[in-house]
Structure 1
Amino acid sequence: SQGGASYQWLDCDDNSIITGENSQIFTATSNGSYAAIITLSGCTDTTSCLAVTSVGIEEYNTAEAIKVYPNPNNGNFVISTDKKSEYTLVNALGQTVQVVGVNAENNFKAEITELPTGVYYLIGMEGEMQIHKKIVVTR
Structure 2
Amino acid sequence: LTVAENPGGIYTWTKSGSTTPLSNNRTLKVTQTGTYIVDVLACAGQFSAKDSVVVDVEPAPTAVIQSVGATTVCKGQGSVSLTATGQTGATFKWDNGSTGTFRNVNTDSVHTFDYFCYSYNACGDSTISNKIKVIVNDIPVAPTISHSQGVYTASSTTAHWFYKLKGTTVWKDAGIQAKIYTPTNLSVGDSVAAREKENDCFSVYSNAELFGSIGISNVNNPDAELGIYPNPNNGVFFLSFSEINSMNVELSIRNMIGQEVLQKSMDLNGNHIEEIDLSSVESGFYMLTVSNGEQRYTRRVVIQ
TM-score norm. by structure 2 comes to 0.24
> Which structure has more RCO (C-alpha within 8 Å, separation ≥ 6)?
1
Structure (1 or 2) with the larger CA radius of gyration:
2
